[in-house]
Amino acid sequence: MFEKLEKLQLVWLAVILALGLIFAVHAGVGAMSKDNISVTGSAFKIVQSDSARLEFEVLSRKADKQAAYNAVKAQLPVVISYLKDKGLTDIEITASNGYNSYRYNANGSMTNDVAYYNLSQPVVVKSDDVNKIKEVSADIQSLLDKGIDINIISTQYFYSKLGDLKVELLKDATTDAKDRAKAMLKATHNRPGKIQAIQMGVFQITPVDSTNVSDMGINDTSTIEKKVTAVANVVFRIK
């Protein structure tokens, strides 16, 4: 009776050990199959802007609103003629802005008496000839010699093929990530396998010599030549 019980206990013990071994093997294989490596790859390209935009304003300060408006109206033909002589024809005259400036009394307090009226007339010029926009933005202040008060608001340069370039750079950044993973795993005699996950980083569009980065991305429009950088974080299965 006791011998049969002992044999039965031994059988159950063997079964439990066997099940435990099987579970341990499966657990070990599962852990190994989930071994991943996360690598960040990057790629960049230098591009030349293919369009530009110059925005400036013609200013006038006169005793009242009507006088300021008439002064700007008389100056605009001179400005437009200057731009056309430079080969720029895509010219937009946008809505003007104005405000009163008030007199101050002897105590330094502002009164309700209008001293003069300030009027600014924005003008926007666009062109695919970026060098022409650059030249005019540097020269347009010469209109001061003709009695025209000019204030440059911004000069911007754009690259129209960013969409296609971003796709290309993301592919290159992913390839760079795989090359980095290979280098990291070489010492362990492993290699990167299938991609498990991939996350695109923000694009940094900066002047060529800039080292600035931002979590929100940078979109520089101040230079003709730009550096476009893409980053991709890739998770590979380790083989």
Tokens in use for 215?
């979590």
Q: What top-level class would CATH report for the domain 35-48+161-238?
A: alpha beta
- Give the global pTM: 0.78
Amino acid in position 43: A
User: HSE (CB half, 13 Å, CA atoms) of 134?
Assistant: 14
Residues 6+ apart with CB under 8 A from 222: 155, 156, 157, 207
pLDDT in tens, 119-172: 999 999 999 999 999 999 999 999 999 999 999 999 999 999 999 999 999 999
- The beta-strand segments (E) located in 8-163 are 36-48, 51-62, 90-93, 97-104, 110-127, 149-158
151: its two tokens: 């204030």
34 band by pLDDT with thresholds 50, 70 and 90: low
Domain parsing of the chain, residue ranges: 35-48+161-238, 51-158
Span 64-117, pLDDT tens digits: 999 999 999 999 999 999 999 999 999 999 999 999 999 999 998 999 999 999
Alpha helix (H) ranges present in 94-202?
Answer: 130-139, 162-185
Q: Does residue 11 register a pLDDT over 90? A: no
39: left (phi over 0), alpha (psi -120 to 50) or beta: beta
The answer on pLDDT for 29 being more than 80 is no
Contact between 173 and 42 under an 8 Å Cβ cutoff? The reply is yes
Sign of CA dihedral 53, 59, 64, 69: negative
Three-state DSSP at 232 gives strand
Q: State the amino acid at position 77 in one-letter form.
A: P
Q: Which CATH architecture has domain 51-158?
A: 2-Layer Sandwich (3.30)
